[in-house]
Structure 1
Amino acid sequence: MKLQMKVIFAILTGILFVVSGCTNKSEDTKKTNLKNQAETKAKYEIVEAKSFKVKNIRGIGYPGNDNALYVAANDGIKMYKDGKWYKTTTNQHDYIGFQAVQSGFLSSGHPQKGTGLKDPLGLVQSVDKGETLQKLAFYGKVNFHFMAASFSGEGLYVISEQPNDALNLGVNYSTDGGGTWKKSAFKDFNADSLGMMAVHPKNGAIMAMSTRSGIYYSTDNGNTMKLITDPFMVTALTFTGDSILYSSVENDQIVLKTLNPTSGEQTNITFPFLDYDNPITYLAINPKNDKQIAFTTYKNDLFESIDGGTNWNNLMKDGKKEMK
């Protein structure tokens, strides 16, 4: 029987277009190809970005090999550090499923045109701030909209929307960097949706999933799941040590809380007011400094706090960083 997989907030996956090449040999096409080749062969550099407009945010995080907040977009990585924004001069890939880890970042997605990389990227890793990509698995075969990884790199999870020789339909996990995969049994999982996943920063066997009916938590790679919240819609989550930072929609209000899955203790986090139609889509905490928190919204707003949520800076509004 074909499994129908639903996901919370279709905004998190989006509609992805693969644009095929054209065999037209007209002069205009030749000029365009030469221009693309020149752009993608440019020297890779990280340069200050005075202004930009992000169409789609694919994920955020604090890689362990840098001191910046990374925003993965449909046109490459944007980096915020010491009050300034930066972007890359090339390798502006559509980084879908972006995950910040100790060594750098993991991602799936689609390559920038003209780079010579296969589409889709499969599962790739960068340890040099996006200058090069290491192909870990499924290169040129699979694009993963939903991924999660332990900051330590010891646990990796993907949602497979189509089964293949290595993956089963649904949630699969790897403990060897994508070399081999096993299916998560998801015993006692009763939600009608699969959603965003998060992994404990040090213990890759501990993971959680947000659904339209609460957070499910597992200590055995998703083989046994336990509902640890009331049945409300959870739109984003991430681990902060042994606890979980999550955003939910409760009584027509957007809330931000931390929850300890073992003790059940919860703490409310103050944050700037958000309209009901602008929920939180991605959350990130710097594993090297748990006072540094960031989140994005449906309308591509980006906020960051460096004091645990007491004060917030609006770093991006409607996906825009305006020139000052």
Structure 2
Amino acid sequence: MWRKYLLGLVSAGIVLSGCSQEVEEGAEKDEKTEQQESKDYLESFEGNFGHVHGLGYMKDGFAFAAHTGLKVYDGEEWKEAIHHPHDYMGFQVTEDGFLSSGHPIPNSDLENPLGLQKGTLEEEDLEALAFYKESDFHVMGAGYANPSVYIFNEQPNSELEQGFYKSPDRGNTWEPFDAAGIEGGIFQIAVHPTDEEKVAVATDSGVFLSENGGGSFEMISEAGQGGGLYFSEETLFFGLYKGEASMISYTLDDATTSSISLPEMSEDAVMYFAKEGDQMALYTFNGAAYYSEDGGGNWDKIAEEGETVS
């Protein structure tokens, strides 16, 4: 059953002037600071959030891009972003918010599909960057602190044919990349936080790394279903399933690898992964979510089959 579900997900894979002005600006800043400190853009959440399409760490905690909107786990409890109830796909956290694609909720002022959008947790409005009302990018990677975006475009749109493309400027311009050396069905893309030339791709055959902007890729994993792609400055983290689940850290400088301890899983594997210092969070193909505050030494289950666990 798990293999059937996994293959379905992989197949689905194929951002007045003078004193009065100073008073107004000061009041606006105070109001914004007050809002951020009170975090009234988040509210408590429990229940079923459906399947997840991305995971990343933001200042308020680990953000899960769920079928029913953005859910945030802060290390103690679940919250939901009140401004973002949409079904986000290809979700990527950046230093100034997030980039995503996907579908708006019914009765929204937004039109379907979303194309490439940029947003923040605190603000309701999204900024359409590219292909609004044209495309839904399930497979997308973006630099945390650089403006690059990499996609696998499943369906042709007004500008792009089917295939691999990258944008060096958050969607203003696009160019194809060769992706030579990649094997298998495309599942995920991840981009290095500062070096836009480093990009990783996970497929149902393994994990592949490019250091030349997607021109060519080298397989860096054993054969298996890849997932859980996450770059830090010095390391690429990835999950692999080949009869059982594993999580690997791959050092970019010297290609050395080490294993990260995982919670017990039965016929399941890491789908999404993110970390901040010793804090880690992961989401599995079967809809479970786990949190660790000690680098994987101990894991707490925080969701099961898409349902929050208190």
TM range (shorter): 0.7 to 0.9
- The partner residue of 1:176 within 169, 176, 182 is 169
State the one-letter code of the partner of 2:288.
D
- The partner residue of 1:299 within 267, 281, 286 is 286
Deviates more, 1:220-229 or 1:143-152: 220-229
What residue ranges of structure 1 are gaps of 5+ in the alignment? 1-7, 16-43
Bigger helix fraction: 2
Q: Give yes or no for contact 1:12–1:281 (8 Å, CA) kept in 2.
A: no
Q: Give yes or no for contact 1:216–1:225 (8 Å, CA) kept in 2.
A: yes
- Per the alignment, residue 306 of structure 2 pairs with 319
Q: Give yes or no for contact 1:238–1:284 (8 Å, CA) kept in 2.
A: yes
Q: Give yes or no for contact 1:101–1:152 (8 Å, CA) kept in 2.
A: yes
Q: Give yes or no for contact 2:224–2:241 (8 Å, CA) kept in 1.
A: yes
Q: Give yes or no for contact 1:236–1:281 (8 Å, CA) kept in 2.
A: yes
Deviations 1:39-71 (Å, cap 9, x if unpaired)?
A: xxxxx842112x2202111111113xx231111
- SS of the aligned residue for 1:196 comes to strand
Q: Give yes or no for contact 1:205–1:219 (8 Å, CA) kept in 2.
A: yes
- Per the alignment, residue 271 of structure 1 pairs with 262
- The partner residue of 1:120 within 104, 113, 129 is 113
- The partner residue of 1:54 within 26, 49, 58 is 49
Q: Give yes or no for contact 1:215–1:234 (8 Å, CA) kept in 2.
A: yes
Task: Write out aligned runs for 1:201-212 (5 A).
Answer: 201-212=193-204
- SS of the aligned residue for 1:257 comes to strand
Task: Write out aligned runs for 1:40-189 (5 A).
Answer: 45-49=41-45, 51-63=46-58, 66-129=59-122, 131-189=124-182
Deviations 1:177-231 (Å, cap 9, x if unpaired)?
A: 1100011111233x13222111111111210111222221111221121122233
Q: Distance in 2 between matches of 1:248 and 1:318?
A: 20
Deviates more, 1:73-82 or 1:230-239: 230-239
- Per the alignment, residue 31 of structure 1 pairs with none
Structure 1 segments (4+ residues) deviating >4 Å:
12-15
State the one-letter code of the partner of 2:257.
Q
Root-mean-square deviation over aligned CA pairs: 2.0
Q: Distance in 2 between matches of 1:197 and 1:89?
A: 28
- Per the alignment, residue 7 of structure 2 pairs with 9
State the one-letter code of the partner of 1:143.
D
Q: Distance in 1 between matches of 2:265 and 2:123?
A: 32
- Per the alignment, residue 228 of structure 1 pairs with 220
Q: TM-score, normalised by structure 1?
A: 0.80
Q: Distance in 2 between matches of 1:89 and 1:208?
A: 32
Q: Distance in 2 between matches of 1:235 and 1:170?
A: 20
- Per the alignment, residue 193 of structure 1 pairs with 185
- SS of the aligned residue for 1:10 comes to helix
Q: Distance in 1 between matches of 2:225 and 2:100?
A: 26
What residue ranges of structure 2 are gaps of 5+ in the alignment? 1-5, 14-39
Q: Give yes or no for contact 1:187–1:223 (8 Å, CA) kept in 2.
A: yes
| Identical aligned residues as a percent | 28
